Structure 1
Amino acid sequence: MLLKSGVLVVLSSLASGALVACGTEGSPSSSSSSSSPSSTPAAATEVEAPSPRLAMTYDGGVLVLDAGSGEVLLDEEVDGFLRLNPAGDGRHLLVSGTGGFTALDTGAWTDEHGDHGHSWATEPRLTGFTIDAREPGHVVPHHGRTTVFDDGTGAITAFDPADLAEGEPELDTWQADEAHHGVAVQDGHGNLILTVGDEESRSGIRLITAAGNELASSDECPGVHGEAFAGDIALFGCEDGVLVVDGREITKVDAPDAYGRIGNQAGHDTSRYVLGDYKVDADAELERPTRVSIIDTRTASLRLVDLPASYSFRSLGRTPDGDALVLGTDGRLHVIDVATAKVTASVPVTARWREPLDWHQPRPLLEVVGETAYVTEPATKQVHVVDLRTLEVVDSLVLPQVPSELRGVTG
């Protein structure tokens, strides 16, 4: 047991992969254990070069494709609405669905050995590793740790994604003060950043040590939602700007409007800039914005970029060199120079489309894997392949199902 500020914090454990809430309200605490897969993966074969793969959810299941040929390598029926999240190791994804987060092995990876690498391929599979969650929410890989948040209980779980290859990562867990639609992430020092809120509202973030001691906090972030990283600098969206977290320093960057919501962001490992959406109508049933935000995390400043069309929360991405990408409802992939906050190119990819009112419903989305952008077109059951070096559509893969979410790995 730990004693913090007169509050007794009890360490509990995980059994059979089920997440058990631990600690007392107001004092996040941690514990460790592991879960075992239910089946053994097929033997891997060394291949000549990396073999990129795409995972896709649809109404009734999840499948894995060869990203080059479009061949279906796995088609697994799964009930309920499913989401796909990078697990953090470049090989596995976490499938969010009823009951929790389950690891999906895409079956393709490369072991790096200094000046060369060895690429491997095997059959993709849904593994037996699951983190139980009443309402699985955000998944954040960062700095060799992957952190997941259960909106239904406020339980937070983190693990080393490299251990997924063995099937049994050890899990560290904390408990937020109250359940809410939140997000948490471990920084490079083992500290935890987590959102603060309840079922009615959200107000800010806390930075705590692994033992639960508070290092910094801010309540200047109404409606806090989403996160991104500019290298090691973290950014969290608010309804009136963003919070920038650099070490233990938290800086508020105000939006130019009283209500200027930035709820979805796209960061970059080597860029100081973060791309965000930007909404100004607090009362809209569904606002279809035509501006995005560019936040400079070094100067704590924000600029807005006008686009010729609206976009959705699945429209944001970054190029390998850090430019911003926005998939518009005009069917074009817009490229933005983040240093100048100017649109520099617009690539025709899909037909014009309109964002549906229900966020569960399929719509075109953008997924960037290496130097390739993949853009789904549910209306035609296709995924279009865009070479980001030439900004040209180089292929279109026919899909067996209407795509909902899409994630890729380089292999």
Structure 2
Amino acid sequence: MHHPLTRPGRRRALPVPLGLLAALTLTACGADPADEPADDASASATPHGYVAGAQELPEPQLQLSYLDAEGSAHALDLLTEDDTELGETGAADAFASDGRFLFAVSEDAGEMTIVDTGTWTVDHGDHTHYYRAPAQVAGTLDWSGEVQAASSETLTAVFSPTTGTGVLLDRADLGSGQVTELARIDTGPHRGAVIPLGNRVVVTDPTSVTALDSSGEPLPGDGVECIDPRGGLATRVGVVVSCADGAVLATGTDDGVDFERIPYPAPVADADRAAALDNRPGRPSVAAPAGTGGVWLLDTRAREWQLLPTDTPWVTAVAADDDADRVVGVDTAGRVVVLEPASGTTTASEPLLPVDRLDEVDLQVDPDRAYVNVPGAGQLLEIDYADDVRLARTFPTAVDPAHLAETGR
């Protein structure tokens, strides 16, 4: 299916940076079927894992990056607990993050401001690199409506379900403070997704999933039917998209992208669909609330769904995919809840979150902890979800945290 597009290849003017500009050019150091082969001469001259202008460190440089409704952006360092102001984005009416960059939309201004938090991880499967560089405002894009964001090592994609507009950006340029558009994609308004898969892109429209190259051109071969897509997510295996009858899994090959349908085990009512897939980044499993009675868990390696009953309705579910395959969530009682699929055991914290503002709560899950913002309370909470959902630390914030993302992972 053809998606109308433009390929402006333009660079937006850079606002005044928040720190020294760094040329953060990512270089490939692992093989991926969807990646272009590295130039041998460049590879021999460049140290393995090198990123110009950045400091490589032995452990993840994790931060809790947060904004208030007016767009004042801050980052709390989880190692030192220092809180740093990142800058101003304008009123943050919509927000997304890919684990390094923040994307804040101001409807009044009609634009999206992109903030580079300066910490990130490059995961090549068998080894990982951790980097830190000065934070900066990378630039802006004309924008309207909501925003979703996802990245591979080479591409960043932003998508507005409100307008159906997707934009592909050069990720290395973005890290050096330049917003370079590679393509614009018009899918029509729908709740779908535009997600990089190596140097290719998985794109939905209201009835299908297809694949494009990095310039936005359709790849050879047909896509696959996906009625009423409702978001998607990158996993260790590939990109998974929620469809009315289950999911579509897109995986990279030497010459393109393969699509595989993973249907629900039985027909599912619209209200009980897995419509908000989420996981700990880089893991193969994804989870989502299943209406008011449970949680969906999809293992993209086994191509298998599980429907896990819960005592209370969940508003958010994240597959931690750890040694116990835990699913971490927030329920309608304002608690952080943890479900272990093998035993069916659910453990919950005390009520921690305002039940009338749960739609403003962002749940972030990493290998050891979960984090939530507490709207209206000026707090971020750290939860040890493997230790009886214990409240480990409480962080006061400089501004009321309307949006939260764990960055540096």
Q: 1:278 maps to what in 2?
A: 290
Q: Secondary structure at the match of 2:173?
A: helix
1:38-53 alignment, distance < 5 Å: 38-43=15-20, 51-53=61-63
**CA separation of 1:30 and 1:349: change in aligned 2, threshold 3 A:** farther
Q: 2:116 maps to what in 1?
A: 105
Q: Secondary structure at the match of 2:311?
A: coil
- One-letter code of the match for 1:305? L
**CA separation of 1:177 and 1:317: change in aligned 2, threshold 3 A:** closer
CA shift for structure 1 position 264? 0.4
**CA separation of 1:328 and 1:216: change in aligned 2, threshold 3 A:** same
Cα contact 1:101–1:136 (8 A) shared by 2 = no
Cα contact 2:318–2:365 (8 A) shared by 1 = no
- One-letter code of the match for 1:207? A
Cα contact 1:295–1:303 (8 A) shared by 2 = yes
Name the stretch that deviates more: 249-258 or 43-52.
43-52
Tell me which protein shows more strand as a share of its residues: 1
1:245-284 alignment, distance < 5 Å: 245-246=250-251, 247-254=257-264, 256-259=267-270, 260-268=272-280, 271-279=283-291
TM-superposition CA deviations, 1:328-382 (whole Å, max 9, x none): 23344333345x4x5445241543643559x5xx3x4311245331122225332
Runs (5+) with no aligned partner, structure 2: 23-53, 252-256
- One-letter code of the match for 2:338? V
Distance in 2 separating the partners of 1:128 and 1:352: 33
CA shift for structure 1 position 51? 5.0
Q: 2:201 maps to what in 1?
A: 192
CA shift for structure 1 position 64? 0.9
Q: 2:300 maps to what in 1?
A: 297
Of 215, 224, 244, the residue aligned with 2:249 is: 244
Runs (5+) with no aligned partner, structure 1: 6-24, 198-202, 280-288
CA shift for structure 1 position 148? 1.0
Q: 1:219 maps to what in 2?
A: 225
Matched, 1:93 2:102: yes
**CA separation of 1:172 and 1:400: change in aligned 2, threshold 3 A:** same
1:303-318 alignment, distance < 5 Å: 303-313=306-316, 315-316=317-318, 318=320
Distance in 2 separating the partners of 1:72 and 1:269: 24
- Please give the root-mean-square deviation of Cα atoms over the aligned residues, in Å: 3.7
Q: Secondary structure at the match of 1:164?
A: helix
Q: Give % identity.
A: 17
Distance in 2 separating the partners of 1:41 and 1:378: 26
Q: 1:207 maps to what in 2?
A: 211
Of 141, 165, 168, the residue aligned with 1:155 is: 165
Distance in 2 separating the partners of 1:179 and 1:61: 26
Distance in 2 separating the partners of 1:67 and 1:204: 41
Q: Secondary structure at the match of 1:163?
A: helix
Cα contact 1:159–1:170 (8 A) shared by 2 = yes
TM-score under structure 1 length normalisation: 0.73
**CA separation of 1:151 and 1:333: change in aligned 2, threshold 3 A:** closer
**CA separation of 1:91 and 1:145: change in aligned 2, threshold 3 A:** same
**CA separation of 1:324 and 1:115: change in aligned 2, threshold 3 A:** closer
**CA separation of 1:58 and 1:396: change in aligned 2, threshold 3 A:** same
- One-letter code of the match for 1:216? D
TM-score under structure 2 length normalisation: 0.74
Matched, 1:167 2:173: no
Of 384, 387, 401, the residue aligned with 2:384 is: 387
Distance in 2 separating the partners of 1:268 and 1:108: 17
- One-letter code of the match for 1:296? D
CA shift for structure 1 position 275? 1.0
- One-letter code of the match for 1:380? A
CA shift for structure 1 position 212? 2.3
Q: Secondary structure at the match of 1:380?
A: coil
By relative contact order (CA 8 Å, sep 6+), the higher-ranking structure is 2
Cα contact 2:231–2:242 (8 A) shared by 1 = yes
Cα contact 2:283–2:321 (8 A) shared by 1 = no
